[in-house]
Chain A
Amino acid sequence: MADMELTGAEIVVRCMRDEGIKHIFGYPGGAVLNIYDEIYKQKDFEHILVRHEQAAVHAADAYARCTGQVGVAIVTSGPGATNAVTGIATAYMDSIPMVVITGQVPTAAIGQDAFQEVDTIGITRPCVKHNFLVKDVRELASTIKKAFFIAATGRPGPVVVDVPKDVTQHKCVYEYPRSVSMRSYNPTSKGHAGQIKKAAQMLLEAQRPMIYTGGGVVLGNAAEQVAELARLLGYPVTSTLMGLGGFPSPDPQFLGMLGMHGTIEANMAMQHCDVLLAVGARFDDRVVGNPKHFAKEAHRIIHIDVDPSSISKRVKVDVPIVGEVGQVLDEICKHLKAGKDKPDEQALKAWWAQIELWRSQDCLKYDRNAAVIKPQFVVEKLYEVTGGDAFVTSDVGQHQMWAAQYYKFAKPRRWINSGGLGTMGFGLPAAMGVQMAHPDASVACITGEGSIQMNIQELSTCKEWKLPLKIILLNNGYLGMVRQWQEFFYEERYAESYMTSLPDFVKLAEAYGHVGMTIEKPEDVEPALRDAFGKYKDRLVFINFLTDPRENVFPMVPAGKGLSEMILV
């Protein structure tokens, strides 16, 4: 039995079993028929058939984001692979651990412009952490093992394994390697002790300290350590879009999100602090705006990141620490607890007084008594109705920013959105991935009428799997973020940002077998949400909220400007 030979297709399925995979998202096709035949025969994992390959990859991606495990998707060659590319690039930009199995034409046909052939390795190379073309069935199991290892370790990311059809037919003895050792791939896990000591010292010397956390805190499971450090020192904390939930948003030490649509208090504190601790964040253009403007103030910067290439890429730092953020923060906390030095209480008091002054401007206020539905109001009500404990996915645009600003995430891995690539169409398939991973959890997808139509076909997948998602459509009739930029920077020339002939979303939801509602008045918002999570708990509910078409996202730092140059209303 031990040395019985298996086909490549059987090996793929066995590898998934031995890797402990429970859910795979995919779409069959010619090049992966052998694999699908084996999927048909097994019971170790469930395969979720989507309606478009992009959705399979987004769902696997979100599955990874909300569980911390590696997500898996499988698609066929050619158009299957090219449809998957947007999903792969989305995961790559946000450092999401994922393995994507792509079918390929038989090895003998590669390069012959065969039916459904594309150079998947070539196309995906710039948007994967790594990719493999498996030409020999004897290398299949070890390659898949490597793929999972690379995807999950160091700075995580998607890995593509391209498997030609003949390789799925060939046979060899199956053995799944227990461990992987690669001379060319050894990510640093432990931070440098000397640097850690220096960081602890610098933090204690701060007069105006700031802790800036990013997606790395969530990906590195370091929320506890961030909280411990913040409490130990009493320093203010801000977070990027990707880091939300890495520190509890309702906490008074939390200044809200920073960046292009960050709060006044977060952006001003970021700009004016004297010691900045950056944790798993990369100073990207949506966060610090213009790096030259940011560098005008004299900051001393400590930067902890698992990826050395993230350090000193856009902003020069003083104390770089390469390592897993949780481990490094643990060490810093140890130093602080062991030493006698304490933060300068007087200075900290003055700094907090300044911050409270900024905070008192209440930059997220909006007209709560408006006769039309304000989109912010819907998100606030969603927060109340779900007790702040839902998984929230979003698409990309104004609704995404409102979700980030008004849903106060208290736990990591609850806020699932495409931050780096900014992929419209992400929200619905992402919500499917989350609901598959957490069948009993409340899952809401906050979306816009532009984004939702980019993967609307997945309502069919939701019906098949009876996924009780709540789709919160903030329908303002415009591609809102485009409209906002046109209003501010293009003298209100609204080029192609208004959609006429939108579908009747209620009928559309019903056509797919779900519950649809249209809500037009502010007083109906809360009852509708209560019905969605109460009366229709077990159904997918699609709520079309007709919101104020002229509402904009504030504050706003225009592209290329500095963090203190915000537009407030």
Chain B
Amino acid sequence: MRHIISLLMENESGALSRVAGLFSARGYNIESLTVAPTEDATLSRMTIVTRGSDDVIEQITKQLNKLVDVVKVQDLSDGSHIERELMLVKVRATGEMREEIKRMADIFRGRILDVADKTYTIELTGPGTKLDAFLAALEPSAILETVRTGASGIGRGDRVMKV
């Protein structure tokens, strides 16, 4: 099953490699991983999307908690949560396709950030499935380049992860 795990860790050099190293050493898979400092500059917040049986996910959270630099771990999939991912996609936009692609971007509430003679660069935010859907809606040969951030997640309602 897919799980989205949030963690707060000391913003120290090498902290990311401890997490990445743990996943590779123990054979856990990482679908995506995002990390950046929080409002408290001494802390980094990381969101990891992974897949595994309940036993594996239990081990992943325990092993993450065991890392000395990790302050808090939460499996967001345990409750309702919001997740968002940002994608930038460069598409071929020539002739009548130019209008068509603009319309498609509007439907998906994307924004065109850059316009060139033969291309558009579109920004799109949403759950990963929405980004997938947008790409599927485009003519494959029109897609020149994509870059995705991987999911960031946060709990809904009063659920707060803080030190």
Q: Which residues of A contact B (CB under 8 A)?
A: 121-122, 125-126, 129-130, 133, 150, 182-185, 307-309, 312-313
Contacts and interface: CB of A to CB of B under 8 A. Distances in A.
A312 B68 contact: no
Given A184-B10, A312-B55, A122 B68 contact: no
Interface residues of B, number: 20
Contact of B68 (A130, A308, A309, A313): A130
Interface in B38-59: 55, 58-59
Nearest to A309: B62
Interface stretch (B14-22, B28-36, B113-121): B14-22
A183 B59 CA distance: 22
Contact of A184 (B9, B55, B58): B9
A183 B14 contact: no
Interface of B: 9-10, 13-14, 17-18, 21, 25, 55, 58-59, 62-63, 65-66, 68-71, 163
Nearest to B72: A184
Dominant secondary structure at the B interface? helix
Nearest to A312: B58
A121 B13 CA distance: 11
Contacts of B9: 184
Given A308-B62, A309-B62, A126 B21 contact: yes
Contacts, number: 36
Contacts of A121: 14
A307 B66 contact: yes
Contacts of B17: 122, 125
B21 A183 contact: no
B18 A125 contact: yes
Contacts of A309: 59, 62-63, 65-66
Contacts of B62: 308-309
A222 to B, nearest CB: 21
Given A122-B17, A125-B18, A125-B21, A184 B63 contact: no
Given A125-B17, A126-B21, A312-B58, A150 B63 contact: no
Of the listed residues B13, B59, B62, B70, the one surrounded by the most CB atoms of chain A closer than 10 A to its CB is B62
Q: Determine which residue in A122, A183, A184, A307 has the highest number of CB atoms from chain B within 10 A of its CB, and name it.
A: A184
Contacts of B163: 183
A329 B90 CA distance: 63
Contacts of A125: 14, 17-18, 21
30 contacts: A122-B17, A125-B14, A125-B17, A125-B21, A126-B21, A126-B25, A129-B68, A130-B68, A130-B69, A133-B13, A133-B14, A150-B68, A182-B68, A183-B71, A183-B163, A184-B9, A184-B10, A184-B68, A184-B69, A184-B70, A184-B71, A307-B66, A308-B62, A308-B65, A308-B66, A309-B59, A309-B63, A309-B65, A312-B55, A313-B59
